[in-house]
Amino acid sequence: MFLNHLYQQIVSIPLKLLVSSKLLPENPVKDLEIDTDAPIYYVIQRRSTSSFLMLKEKAKQLKLPEPKIVSGTSEEIPNGAVLFLQNKNLLGLGVNLVEKYQRLLERLLDTQKQTPEKHHQLVPVSIYWGRNPGKENSLLRLLFTDTESSTPLRKFFLFLFQGRNSFVRIAKPVDMQQVVASGASEKMLLTKLTRTLRVHFHRHRQAAMGPLISNRRQLITNLVVSDNVRRAIERETKSKNISVKKARKLAEKYADEIASAYSYKTVRILESALTHLWNRIYDGVQVRNVEMVRELATTHEIIYLPCHRSHIDYLLLSYTLYHEGLVPPHIAAGINLNFWPAGPILRRGGAFFLRRSFGGNKLYTAVFNEYIFQLMDRGIPLEFFPEGGRSRTGRLLPPKTGLLAMTLQSLLRGTRKPVAIVPVYIGYERMFEGKSYLNELRGAEKKKESFGQLLGIRKTLKQAFGKVYLNFAEPLFLNQYLDEKQPDWHQYKGDANAKPGWLTPQVSDLANTLMEKINASVTLNSVSLVALILLSTERVAIGRKELESQLELLLTLGKKAPFSNATYLPKSQPPALIGQAEKLGTIFRVANPMGEIITTDEQTAVLLTYYRNNILHIYITSALIASCFLNRQSMTQTDLVGELSKLFPFLKKELFIHWDEQKFEQHIEKNIDVLVERSMLFREDEMLTRAPESDSGFDQLFTHAQIARPTLLRYGIILTLLSTQAGRENLSRQELEKRSQHLAQRIAALYSLNAPEAFDKNLFRNTVNVLREGELIKVAENNNFIINPDLIDLQDLILNKVNIHSKHIMQKTAAWANEYWGKKS
């Protein structure tokens, strides 16, 4: 024991000087539900003095039992005992079991049996020196890549080169009560427990490091010689009448254009640079549900699907995963980002590039498909943006399904692990690209990404951008999803060319489900909440007390009528939320003898529509309820639910709402309860009545109703156009969308904010699609629309939910437009 203690003292000297380790998770006692009142024992994969000392430091920091080395002859196993599964061998690569600790495990099992009332916990602890998985066929990885135990020479190199990049990963405790509950023999229990722990350490290492880095040249060769690509090359030679050699060269060119060149060294440099960047421009990055992802990464092939708001998204998600002890994913990036110097850096950081359109190029498609499959088959996590491009309005865009289809086809072909798709919400209090987005929506040409643009962000970096929120949403387990939706999918396993008839509609359904999961996991922040209220006022100005009252309403609705259990509300109170929005330059105060007024300038107001649209879906139900009382004093709850249910298909399609109609009705009831509680509505049996106009509750109700105004106006524009065309002319789909958009732009310019949604073709296209699905309009043989008379009733329903002034503006402008287009035709 003396020699052991002396050796620990010697090792602790370079450990203190050269090593600074990070703890994951940061609060394991809370995050992993470790019971500090019950006995705790630690398990480390391989016997190592440095690992033991690092564990000792972290246990002291967390106020957990002090780790203790236990003698093999000890009759009792003390609280805090450390057990090692394996011993080191030549070069530290041995995997032989340590008999001494096997005996201790056996005693621990026996102790649990003897004291069944006690909750004995076995806590696995992994220590990682660096994050370099090493290259395939490289001898250097034996010296410089991670290993938990090694010879003194190798450990010296690890201290020297990876000491500042090490981390201690504490995992969820193994519940010994459950282990012994099976009633199996002690020998069988010991074998099972040992195997479980060994698999645990292997899987967690894979999740943190990823597979060995392959040689890029060899990867490209493997792509070109694969069966799928060889068949595509043969088709190319026949269809274009070229030689096999030329077609092969073309396939190699495509593979070289696509494939990443992942470099651990580049990832390390980027991590250091981005840490500096985030600290400089952001007040913090709040990450939620990362522990769920850590556990998932040990058993599944993960596909990350983030929403796309900013170019920062690429960097932020990879940085966060790396910082949280997980291997960064390979990212599908648009070919527009492959410019010098960003392209080569992104490629070394794990980006692979794809063209915006495959344009029917079957050889390119085959190479790209094969690349996706090979990445998934090797267990490399992937990331791609389902929207295809960045949202210019703050709303989720309709999903592009190409990469999702390739993912599903790879699963049909057969992957080593089950696939889990993890939707990711990324939200910003302020964004880099806000002004450029508005210019693009108003017709300005999108600036091509270039080195010059990179130089131009220096001024931007001097500004404050508040907080960033990154939420990992509820995962979708693709294997289980197909089991429920398409039980026959297993029959296509192993077929590289499988394209069952259900594939396309199922991918479309899958894409919408994933977008709904993203929208369900939103974090509400100061800017988005203040923007939602401020833009609902007539002159984009509101008294400070009234703003605080409206913020209280939004927070109460979020708590008592939550959009989703995965939606996060700010903990700050209304005065602090206003202060934060003011600090970020989005609002300012105007002194007034009767009380401060909160307002903003016109350009910032237009930018605020982006942040409002981030959270519009959270409050659309309560705003529509309030809208029902703009033009009438009372109505029955049954009638109210019936009217809003007619609008639900439009809302679900446009705002990616995860409820079905029944849950929507339940949500309506919860929102009504909150409005009644705040005396904005009064209930008597089935009858709902709005607050008297002299009450503050009426003012709150009226302001809250304006949240839904832009949405209702947009629906009303299309319906008014269609209804005025009934019996006169049938519009083509393209002409209807074009006219609706032009009309919305005119109304926005003359009577409201020149908001970005007036320029977004997707919103009008969604509305037309819902009208077709509901058979309110039909497509004739000449590809024109035939209008159902019931559409008039829907138009009246919507117009009755906007104030008289808005209704008059819409009808007046639609009449003018019809006269204008009548003359043109």
Per-residue model confidence as pLDDT tens digits over 664-673: 999 999 999 9
Last residue of a domain, one of 151, 181, 209: 209
Last residue of a domain, one of 184, 209, 234: 209
Taking only the tens place, the pLDDT of each residue in 221-230 is: 999 999 999 9
Confidence of residue 719 (pLDDT cuts 50, 70, 90): confident
User: For 223-240, what is the mean pLDDT?
Assistant: 93
Confidence of residue 366 (pLDDT cuts 50, 70, 90): very high
Percentage of the residues of the chain whose pLDDT score is greater than 70: 89
User: For 117-122, what is the mean pLDDT?
Assistant: 89
In a shared domain, residues 201 and 250: no
| pLDDT over threshold 70, residue 91 | no
Which of 429, 437, 317, 337 has its CA nearest to residue 384? Answer: 317
Confidence of residue 90 (pLDDT cuts 50, 70, 90): very low
In a shared domain, residues 265 and 389: yes
Q: 441 in a domain, yes or no?
A: yes
| pLDDT over threshold 90, residue 806 | no
Taking only the tens place, the pLDDT of each residue in 619-643 is: 999 999 999 999 999 999 999 999 9
CATH number at residue 513: 3.40.1130
More confident residue, 123 or 454: 123
In a shared domain, residues 343 and 467: yes
Q: 203 in a domain, yes or no?
A: yes
Strand partners, 419: 301
Confidence of residue 535 (pLDDT cuts 50, 70, 90): very high
Which of 660, 630, 655 has its CA nearest to residue 714? Answer: 655
User: Under a CB-based contact definition with an 8 Å cutoff, are residues 744 and 753 in contact?
Assistant: no
Looking only at Cα atoms, what is the longest distance across the chain? 101
| pLDDT over threshold 50, residue 797 | yes
When the pLDDT of each residue in the chain is averaged and rounded to a whole number, the result is 86
In a shared domain, residues 196 and 245: no
Residue listed under structure tokens 């009759």: 75
What is the per-residue pLDDT for 607? 87
What is the per-residue pLDDT for 512? 96
In a shared domain, residues 300 and 173: no
What is the per-residue pLDDT for 453? 53
Q: How far apart are the C-alpha atoms of 464 and 520, rounded to whole Å?
A: 28
Confidence of residue 95 (pLDDT cuts 50, 70, 90): very low
Helical H segments across 596-708, by residue range: 602-627, 637-655, 661-677, 696-705
Query: For 218, what's the count of Cα atoms within 13 Å in the CB-facing half-sphere?
Result: 6
Residue type, 468: V
Count of the separate structural domains present in the chain:
2
Confidence of residue 93 (pLDDT cuts 50, 70, 90): very low
Helix axes 244-258, 227-240, angle to 10 degrees: 130
What is the per-residue pLDDT for 443? 56
Per-range mean pLDDT, top range of 340-344, 538-542, 560-564: 560-564
More confident residue, 307 or 713: 307
In a shared domain, residues 224 and 140: no
Q: 17 in a domain, yes or no?
A: yes
Confidence of residue 504 (pLDDT cuts 50, 70, 90): very high
In a shared domain, residues 458 and 398: yes
Last residue of a domain, one of 499, 520, 541: 520
What is the per-residue pLDDT for 509? 96
Instruction: Write b or e for each residue in 305-329: b if 16 or more Cβ atoms lie within 10 A of its Cβ, otherwise e.
Output: bbbbbbbbbbbbbbbbbbbbbbbbb
In a shared domain, residues 202 and 222: no
What is the per-residue pLDDT for 63? 93
Q: How far apart are the C-alpha atoms of 208 and 165, rounded to whole Å?
A: 13
What is the per-residue pLDDT for 768? 84
User: Under a CB-based contact definition with an 8 Å cutoff, are residues 7 and 88 in contact?
Assistant: no
User: For 23-52, what is the mean pLDDT?
Assistant: 91
What is the per-residue pLDDT for 659? 95
Q: How far apart are the first and last CA of the chain?
A: 98
Confidence of residue 345 (pLDDT cuts 50, 70, 90): very high
User: For 500-524, what is the mean pLDDT?
Assistant: 96
| pLDDT over threshold 90, residue 657 | yes
Q: 496 in a domain, yes or no?
A: yes
Q: 515 in a domain, yes or no?
A: yes
Helix axes 362-377, 216-225, angle to 10 degrees: 120
What SS3 class is residue 130?
coil
Taking only the tens place, the pLDDT of each residue in 575-588 is: 999 999 999 999 99
What is the per-residue pLDDT for 92? 45
Residue type, 487: P
Q: Which domain, by its residues, includes 220?
A: 216-520
Question: How long is the chain?
Answer: 825
| pLDDT over threshold 70, residue 15 | yes
In a shared domain, residues 191 and 244: no
CA 525 vs. chain centroid, Å, equals: 17
In a shared domain, residues 158 and 245: no
Taking only the tens place, the pLDDT of each residue in 420-449 is: 999 999 999 988 776 676 666 555 565 665
For residue 674, give Cα distances in angstroms to 382, 525, 648: 42, 21, 20
Kindly report the pTM of this predicted structure: 0.90
Q: 803 in a domain, yes or no?
A: no
Q: How far apart are the C-alpha atoms of 555 and 509, rounded to whole Å?
A: 32
Taking only the tens place, the pLDDT of each residue in 260-303 is: 999 888 988 888 888 888 888 888 899 999 999 999 999 999 99
Give the list of residues 6+ apart from residue 540 with CB closer than 8 angstroms, or none. 534, 599, 600, 602, 605, 753
In a shared domain, residues 126 and 243: no
Q: 666 in a domain, yes or no?
A: no
| pLDDT over threshold 50, residue 798 | yes
Residue 585 zone, left/alpha/beta (φ > 0; ψ -120 to 50; rest): left
More confident residue, 712 or 757: 712
In a shared domain, residues 240 and 289: yes
Q: What is the DSSP track for 621-647?
A: HHHHHHHTTSS-SEEEHHHHHHHHHHH
Residue listed under structure tokens 């287009």: 821
| pLDDT over threshold 80, residue 140 | no
Q: 709 in a domain, yes or no?
A: no
Indicate the helix (H) or strand (E) that contains 786: strand 785-787
